[in-house]
Amino acid sequence: MIAKKTVAGGQGSLMGQNPSPARGLADVEEERKRLSGSTQHDRKSEFGQFLTPSRVAEYMTGLFSSLRRMTVRLLDPGAGTGMLTCAFLQRALADRVASLEASCFEIDDLILPRLVQNLHQSDALYFGAGIPLQIDTNAREFIKAAAEMVRNGKTPYTHVIMNPPYRKISSQSEQRKLLHAVGIESVNLYAAFLALSIRLLEKGGEIVAIIPRSFCNGSYYFPLRKLIREDASIEHIHVFDSRRGTFRDEHVLQENVIVHLSKRAQIGDVVISSSHDAAFTDYQERRVEYSEVVGDDDEDYFIHIPTDHTATSRSFPRDADHQLEKLDIQVSTGPVVDFRTTEYIVSASDRPEAPLLYPANICDGKVIWPTVKGKGSRAMKVAPGTEKLLFPAGYYVVVRRFSSKEEARRIVAAVISPGEVSSQYYAFENHLDVFHSHKHGLERDVAYGLMAYLNNAHTDQYFRRFSGHTQVNAGDLRKLHYPSREALACAGREVAESTGPVSIFKNNN
């Protein structure tokens, strides 16, 4: 048996040295906490790297199938201090693998020496167990190295474990060009790392990754979802109910999920699990049919994560089988970006102008303007430079685009009524989504019915299945199915004429 030792740099390794004393994950965790506290936020943002807590790493390694007697070739494409690889090596040793080779990529020269040091901890354990172990660290950029392997048709890995960097990729960057050359389109490093890893995985291989949930929907991540649909099987998705709980020490507010993929055709159900945070103390899981996660007729391949037992595609508000385009209703992002149009923005007292409506103007299903203070009491000049930004007065439904994940509802909708906000025109700020009919108002009853439907608890639960981030984008609202115009108008008439709360839309149960 030969145990190879790790060095920083190309694909080098040190051989024949005495194994170093074993260090446990607790030691790596303490080091992670020290680095988290001492590393400047700007440096973290530069590399897009947030280090994995040990409890999360152990959970992730537990998702892989049995490794017993396997010849394992592991990839960790954004290794950091080596927490994930160390946890995997611990799991592989317990499973008694036949042999193990690990390739770790890391370009942060501050972290790289710690990666080497932490990976040495496994040498003594594997040496004592008589299991061949080779660990290589690589200081090359993963995208460059991986694109080269993909171009050469290589699939060298049986397993991938990753916490990839979270950072946008410039459209003019070398990284985008390298990705495009191998048929991968991505706007973010994490999506690029996952796509490349799928391509580098041998048939039947497995990936476990902790990534932002944003890939589940939206046009930017369609290529990644298409690749998963065509080349991989979704085995398991874990959701953290709290945005703050996963990388608490790193102050990350992005909502993350853990996904377990296999490189094979989809077979059987998908395990959906959840916990409040990275402690997993309130862990729950259940199995759902694959069609509940990715609909057979969904050309966008949105990934739904049905953690709520009541919000499935088969138990949803009655008659909700129409798309907006069939209803002749459109939804758009508010066109006014206030900091770009400051010369046209005035106080509400400077009439006659167009009320400039912000999320602050939404209150209990109504749009109130002006508010007592703040941005909710602004207006926009009606002038040649603002004509394209204004909507003629009428009934519109507006939705707040941003919320915190911990809020009771993700979708918060209200009706703007010309009887309550009297003006010739309205201006909608960029933090609102606006439902309209060819940039004109909706029928009164349709508007109130649409507002009631959007504010329905079951609609909100269903929306959360595929929209994990805190933005409620117009594109996501277009993906919802809606009741017919007749059903909306019927419900809206009751809402508009009611003096109290009305529950209109119910699920099928």
Which is higher by pLDDT, 367 or 404? 367
Q: What pLDDT is attached to residue 464?
A: 80
Number of neighbours of residue 440 by Cβ within 10 angstroms: 12
| 184-237 pLDDT tens trace | 999 999 999 999 999 999 999 999 999 999 899 888 999 999 999 999 999 999
What residue ranges in 109-184 does DSSP mark as E strands?
133-138, 157-162
Number of neighbours of residue 490 by Cβ within 10 angstroms: 15
Q: What pLDDT is attached to residue 462?
A: 81
Q: Which residues contact 503 (CB under 8 A, 6 or more apart)?
A: none
Q: What pLDDT is attached to residue 276?
A: 87
The residue among 160, 257, 169 whose CA lies nearest residue 212 is 257
Q: What pLDDT is attached to residue 66?
A: 97
Q: What pLDDT is attached to residue 446?
A: 97
Which percentage of the chain shows pLDDT scores above 70? 83
The residue among 210, 209, 208, 202 whose CA lies nearest residue 231 is 202
- Residue 279 pLDDT level (bands cut at 50, 70, 90): confident
Q: Dig out the tokens for 409 from the structure.
A: 């509802």
The class of domain 324-496 in CATH terms is alpha beta
Q: What pLDDT is attached to residue 254?
A: 65
Helix 54-61 and helix 83-95: axis angle, to 10°?
40
Q: Find tokens 């972290």 and name the residue.
A: 111
- CA 472 – CA 218 distance, rounded (Å): 11
| 455-489 pLDDT tens trace | 988 888 888 877 766 688 898 899 888 999 999 99
What residue ranges in 127-223 does DSSP mark as E strands?
133-138, 157-162, 201-212
Q: What pLDDT is attached to residue 261?
A: 98
Q: Find tokens 């410039």 and name the residue.
A: 170
Decide yes or no: CATH 3.40.640.10 for domain 4-293: no
Q: What pLDDT is attached to residue 508?
A: 46
- CA 216 – CA 23 distance, rounded (Å): 37
The domain spans of the chain are 4-293, 324-496
| 127-166 pLDDT tens trace | 889 999 999 999 999 999 999 999 999 999 999 999 999 9
DSSP codes of every residue in 359-426: GGGEETTEE-SS-SSGGGGEEE--STTTGGGEEESSBEEEEESB--TTSS-S--EEEE-TTTS--SEE
Averaged pLDDT of the chain: 85
| 445-463 pLDDT tens trace | 999 999 999 998 888 888 8
Q: Which residues contact 141 (CB under 8 A, 6 or more apart)?
A: 105, 107, 175
Beta 157-162 vs 133-138: how paired, if at all? unpaired
| 13-41 pLDDT tens trace | 323 333 333 447 877 877 777 766 555 55
Q: Which amino acid is it at 101?
A: E
- CA 213 – CA 376 distance, rounded (Å): 32
Q: Which amino acid is it at 195?
A: A
3-state secondary structure of 256: strand
| 418-450 pLDDT tens trace | 999 989 999 999 999 999 999 999 999 999 999
Q: Span 258-264, mean pLDDT? A: 98
Q: What pairs with residue 157 in β-bridges?
A: 201
Q: Which residues contact 225 (CB under 8 A, 6 or more apart)?
A: 215, 216, 300, 301, 302, 303
- CA 160 – CA 141 distance, rounded (Å): 17
What's the CA dihedral at 149, 142, 270, 158 to 10 degrees?
A: 50
Reported residue count of the chain is 509
- pTM, to two decimals: 0.76
- CA 451 – CA 436 distance, rounded (Å): 12
